[in-house]
Amino acid sequence: MGSYLAGRLGYAVFVLWGAITIVFVTVRVVPGDPAQLMVGAQGTRQDVEALRHRFGLDRPLPAQYGSYLGEAARLNFGQSLRLEQPAVDAVAQRIPATALLALSAMALAVTASLPLGIVAAVARGSLLDRAVSVVSLVGQSVPNFWLGIMFILIFARTLRWLPSAGIGGLEHLILPAVSLALLVIGVLTRLVRSGLVDVIHEDYVRTAYAKGLALRSVIVRHALPNALIPVVTVAGLQLGHLLAGAVIVETVFAWPGVGRLLVDAISNRDYPVVQVAVLLITAGFILVNLLVDLSYAYLDPRIRYR
Amino acid sequence: MTRRQFLDGALTIAGAAAGASLPIQLGTAAASPAPASRTPAGELKVSLPARIVALDPLGPLAAEEPVRIVAAHVFDSLVVRDMKTRQYLPSLATKWESPDPTTWVFTLRSGVKFHDGSPLGAKDVKASLERMLKLRGPFAPLWAAVDTVDAPNDGTVRIKTKTPLGTMLANASLLSIAPADKMEQAGFFNRPIGSGPFRVVSYRPDNELALEANPGYWGTPPGVRTLRFKDIPEVAARVTALITGEIDLTFALPPDQLAALGKQKAVQIVSTPSYRYYFIWMNIKREPFTDKRVRQAMVYALDIDTMVKTLMQGIARRMTSPIPTTVFGYSPQRPYAYDPRKAKELLAAAGRPNGFDATMIWNPDSGPQDRELAQAFISYWNAIGVRIKDGQAERPQWLDKLLKLDWDMDFQSNGVITGDADFVLRRLYTTSANRMGYASPTVDTLLNDAAATVDQNKRKLFYAQANEIIWDDAVGIYPFELVQAYVYRTGVEGFIPTPSFPTFASVTVKR
């Protein structure tokens, strides 16, 4: 287990380095200059040059990259070009909001898709099964900015049950979390269903029936754990999808998270913020994948890590 | 242009000319209202059309609209511009004079304190101006003529300039004064201290800025005790929040949302012409725009009145000059009528009877209805045989092209942040500015003279001539000046609509 974790850690560092490098190059290759954007249309050439010098952007790219890596190794990710704070602080400030939103959405999605998938699998081919398929397909295909706006119009403006924007109590969380959850409920439901359909005709399931167990415990105790591995894998991967969706949902619902910060940083070419945001999102992704892999051992006792 | 619009313009000129006084302008303390006995009460929740990106009014983001709006509540400046009379009134400075054309002396109000109780004096004014120059923020170029700033005593600031600075008061109205001994501390501007009517209580970026009435304010106490700026980027959510009462006031909504809100009982809409306007430049260094007749043809091809009615629906008026009516230096010009036949004749005379191909760059953050307008322009030009390609680009890419003069045509909006013609005309239309390739020695002289003249009446005359030449040369097309529509809930009282950067100190809220 120890050596397995060490191996994974080394791999994680490699992935993080790759992410840093790709982002570092990409943000600088796309047209647009942070100094010029900040000075705006009213500044002179000299103002832009002075700002570029202050940001260190007048140095050759390899030199910038070298010193960035050196500083990053010491966990110094530089000052945001626009916000009056270190880039890492700007991102860290907004992580709790995004984490709350993404995890709530994931919890909602899992809670909804397990029963939906089970019902669809058990009653395969029925009207109910088809209804679940249609609903999950729609949830997956409808753009979530549209869904978000519809939710605002229905639940905030017309019914006045929930607030339309901002962060605060539980009532503020409901609309954004549901809009985000709908993005993955479809995928997870279909996975639970197909996983169960695959195992439901296995011998051990028939044996479980034969020894007189009720349908409920056959499914929950015997069939479901074997269908869950792909579901957990995909749920982990979908967390990345959720973060991407959060960018849009956060804007629609004025949710002060990393997604909005990242979009703003990209459109203003705030390089340090973009870099550290992508780095932290990558780190989060690596961590989730590790947890997913470790959970396999729990779900399937045959899997052991060495 | 209708007769009515023409008269509006004429009145503006007459009013401003009568108000503008001698080269030496004297402010008096009596001009600012005596502190009333009212006690600030209640809460006002405002959502601005853009996010509050920073709280530093002297830094690199000082020209962003939300930064200026917040600054006007937390900080004071030496003078303020009265939006009705268009005169500069005393604020931190009770009087000012210009003993010679390159010297300005401001006498500070005594007894003014920052929010932490420390006194505000001449050294704070000096330090604020110096910080702004050092950071090379967007307003630094306005002060390029400054030679020295000194504080002969605690209540006097003396600014010497290398050449006369005709826009001194306009500039001074945008200079927020922060405490000299604290403003350079790290993190100061995350929760800044000023001397303004409100002080900062809490700032959560992308979420909410909470201000509360400054009990020790030297001027009229604000109407509300708490002022909250709530960040709601999505228009549908912002409109919903207004209808449900989550916010009390917002502005800069698209026309379709305004029309829907107009039917709501609990909501009022007030509009006022703004400092913002749309324009289209033609690159005068590129064929075929080198020919004035081609440029004029492009103007005659547009049915601007129809676009005002159908596309802008109350958020814009037809423009009558290269600068908006609200700005110092405005003078009305002879309008270009909608005349596609004349446009074709001009094209033929310029040797382009079959039109030509060109690209128009613009960015999707230009302003209200920008996409619809770009398409409308292109189809009007198409009707006279000119084929314009839609060159929409993301803002950073657009700005890059714009400044490199790498374009045929450019469509954008612009705001005259200082409210003075100098900010747009000299900055953009001189030969050395080289922003659209226009080079007119006459215009250069007029604009440079206007900038270096302290006598405001003379400046008006310079701008009147410059406006006329730029307009007749069709350096650009000036279709619309934008109308700022403020929307607020019933119960909000005392709000004064302004052409830019609204303030809420005068507002009271009854529930």
Output the DSSP codes for chain A: -HHHHHHHHHHHHHHHHHHHHHHHHHHHHSS--HHHHHHGGGS-HHHHHHHHHHHTTTS-HHHHHHHHHHHHHTT---B-SSSSSBHHHHHHHHHHHHHHHHHHHHHHHHHHHHHHHHHHHHTTTSHHHHHHHHHHHHHHHS-HHHHHHHHIIIIIIIS--S-SSS--SHHHHHHHHHHHHHHHHHHHHHHHHHHHHHHTTSHHHHHHHHTT--HHHIIIIIIHHHHHHHHHHHHHHHHHHHHHHHHHHHHHTT--SHHHHHHHHHHTT-HHHHHHHHHHHHHHHHHHHHHHHHHHHHH-TT----
Say if the Cβ atoms of B233 and A254 lie within 8 Å. yes
Please answer whether residues B227 and B47 qualify as being in contact, where contact means their C-beta atoms are separated by less than 8 angstroms: no
Distance from CA of A172 to the nearest CA of B (A): 12
Predicted local distance difference test score (pLDDT) of residue B18: 32
Which tokens in the block code for residue A147? Answer: 């869904």
Say which of A41, A43, A163 has its CB closest to residue B246.
Answer: A163
Which tokens in the block code for residue B499? Answer: 């052409």
Q: Read off φ and ψ for residue B365, nearest 5 degrees.
A: -110, 20
CA distance B445 to B157: 31
Say if the Cβ atoms of A42 and B234 lie within 8 Å. no
Residue B113 makes CB contacts below 8 A (sequence gap 6+) with B119, B120, B195, B216, B218
Chain A residues in contact with B414 (beta carbon < 8 A): 41
Which residues pair with residue B251 across a beta bridge? B486
CA distance A153 to A139: 18
Which tokens in the block code for residue B433? Answer: 């500015």
Query: Each residue of B12-44: pLDDT tens digit?
Result: 333 333 333 333 333 333 334 444 567 899 999
Looking at residue B78, its amino acid is L
pLDDT band, residue A243 (cuts 50/70/90) = confident
B364 touches chain A (CB under 8 A): no
Please answer whether residues B81 and B177 qualify as being in contact, where contact means their C-beta atoms are separated by less than 8 angstroms: no
Chain B residues in contact with A79 (beta carbon < 8 A): none
The percentage of residues in chain A with a pLDDT greater than 90, rounded to a whole number, is 32
Predicted local distance difference test score (pLDDT) of residue B84: 77
Please answer whether residues B399 and B393 qualify as being in contact, where contact means their C-beta atoms are separated by less than 8 angstroms: no
Averaged pLDDT for residues A257-286:
90
B450 touches chain A (CB under 8 A): no
CA distance A34 to A52: 8
Which tokens in the block code for residue B194? Answer: 């000023």
B406 touches chain A (CB under 8 A): no
Say which of A36, A38, A261 has its CB closest to residue B403.
Answer: A36
Please answer whether residues B51 and A264 qualify as being in contact, where contact means their C-beta atoms are separated by less than 8 angstroms: yes
Please answer whether residues B217 and B14 qualify as being in contact, where contact means their C-beta atoms are separated by less than 8 angstroms: no
Distance from CA of A255 to the nearest CA of B (A): 7
Say if the Cβ atoms of B240 and A90 lie within 8 Å. no
Please answer whether residues A64 and A52 qualify as being in contact, where contact means their C-beta atoms are separated by less than 8 angstroms: no
B31 touches chain A (CB under 8 A): no
Which residues pair with residue B103 across a beta bridge? B100, B160
CA distance B451 to B459: 8
Predicted local distance difference test score (pLDDT) of residue B14: 33
Predicted local distance difference test score (pLDDT) of residue B11: 32
B133 touches chain A (CB under 8 A): no
Query: What SS3 class is residue B269?
Result: strand
pLDDT higher than threshold 90 for residue A275: yes
B337 closest CA partner among B291, B303, B310: B303
Chain A residues in contact with B187 (beta carbon < 8 A): 84-85
ipTM of the complex: 0.85
Angle between helices A144-151 and A170-199 (to 10 degrees): 130
Please answer whether residues A209 and A133 qualify as being in contact, where contact means their C-beta atoms are separated by less than 8 angstroms: no
Say if the Cβ atoms of B234 and A251 lie within 8 Å. yes
Higher pLDDT, A194 or B492: B492
Q: Read off φ and ψ for residue B351, nearest 5 degrees.
A: 80, 20
B61 closest CA partner among B185, B198, B205: B205
Distance from CA of B455 to the nearest CA of A (A): 25
Which tokens in the block code for residue B72? Answer: 């006007």
B295 touches chain A (CB under 8 A): no
Averaged pLDDT for residues A191-197:
86
Chain B residues in contact with A252 (beta carbon < 8 A): 234, 236-237
Higher pLDDT, A59 or A136: A59
Chain B residues in contact with A163 (beta carbon < 8 A): 241, 244, 246
Please answer whether residues B221 and B205 qualify as being in contact, where contact means their C-beta atoms are separated by less than 8 angstroms: no
Cβ–Cβ contacts within 10 Å for residue A146, how many?
Answer: 12
Residue B117 makes CB contacts below 8 A (sequence gap 6+) with B216
Please count the CA atoms within 13 angstroms of the CA of B237 that sit on its side-chain side.
29
The B residues from 97 to 116 touching A (CB cutoff 8 Å) are none
Best probe of the B interface among A37, A42, A57, by most B CBs < 10 A, is A42
Q: How far is CA B137 from CA A36, A46, A85, A183, B432, in A?
A: 12, 12, 17, 43, 21
Chain A residues in contact with B54 (beta carbon < 8 A): 82-84
CA distance A269 to A257: 18
CA distance A165 to B236: 10
Which tokens in the block code for residue B9? Answer: 């313009």
Residue B439 makes CB contacts below 8 A (sequence gap 6+) with B284, B431
pLDDT higher than threshold 80 for residue A234: yes
Tell me, what DSSP letter sits at residue B120?
Answer: P
Residue of A nearest to B402 (CA): A41
Say if the Cβ atoms of A256 and B205 lie within 8 Å. yes
Query: Each residue of A251-264: pLDDT tens digit?
Result: 999 999 998 899 88
A168 closest CA partner among A160, A176, A180: A176
Predicted local distance difference test score (pLDDT) of residue B37: 66
Residue B338 makes CB contacts below 8 A (sequence gap 6+) with B300, B302, B303, B304, B305, B306
Say if the Cβ atoms of B205 and A90 lie within 8 Å. yes
List, edge to edge, every strand of the sheet that includes B93-100.
B93-100, B103-108, B156-161, B146-153
Predicted local distance difference test score (pLDDT) of residue A3: 84
Cis peptide before A225 (omega within 30 of 0): no
Predicted local distance difference test score (pLDDT) of residue B6: 36
CA distance B156 to A35: 36
Please answer whether residues B81 and B70 qualify as being in contact, where contact means their C-beta atoms are separated by less than 8 angstroms: no
Chain A residues in contact with B189 (beta carbon < 8 A): 84
Chain B residues in contact with A256 (beta carbon < 8 A): 204-207, 231
Say if the Cβ atoms of A252 and B399 lie within 8 Å. no
Distance of alpha carbon B401 from the chain centroid: 24
Say which of A38, A148, A156 has its CB closest to residue B60.
Answer: A38
Please answer whether residues A87 and A77 qualify as being in contact, where contact means their C-beta atoms are separated by less than 8 angstroms: yes
pLDDT higher than threshold 50 for residue A74: yes
Chain B residues in contact with A156 (beta carbon < 8 A): 237, 240-241, 244
The B residues from 184 to 243 touching A (CB cutoff 8 Å) are 187, 189-190, 204-208, 230-234, 236-238, 240-241, 243
B264 touches chain A (CB under 8 A): no
Distance from CA of A29 to the nearest CA of B (A): 12
Please answer whether residues A265 and A27 qualify as being in contact, where contact means their C-beta atoms are separated by less than 8 angstroms: no
Residue of B nearest to A161 (CA): B244
Best probe of the A interface among B136, B231, B398, B435, by most A CBs < 10 A, is B136
From the CA atom positions of chain B, what is the Rg in Å? 23
B173 closest CA partner among B118, B96, B102: B96
B238 closest CA partner among B54, B69, B48, B51: B48
Predicted local distance difference test score (pLDDT) of residue A224: 82
Which residues pair with residue A4 across a beta bridge? none
Per-position DSSP letters for B213-267, written without gaps between them: E-TT-SSSPPS-SEEEEE---SHHHHHHHHHHTS-SEEE---HHHHHHHHT-TTE
Cβ–Cβ contacts within 10 Å for residue A25, how many?
Answer: 12
Model confidence pTM above 0.90: no
Say if the Cβ atoms of A166 and B233 lie within 8 Å. no
What parts of chain B have a pLDDT lower than 50? 1-35
Which residues pair with residue B486 across a beta bridge? B251, B270
pLDDT band, residue A246 (cuts 50/70/90) = confident
Query: Each residue of B107-155: pLDDT tens digit?
Result: 999 999 999 999 999 999 999 999 999 888 788 888 989 999 999 999 9
Tell me, what DSSP letter sits at residue B482?
Answer: E
pLDDT band, residue A306 (cuts 50/70/90) = low
Query: Each residue of A96-144: pLDDT tens digit?
Result: 999 999 999 999 998 998 888 888 888 888 888 888 888 888 877 888 8
Determine whether B342 is exposed, middle or buried from the number of CB atoms within 10 Å of its CB (0-12, 13-18, 19+): middle
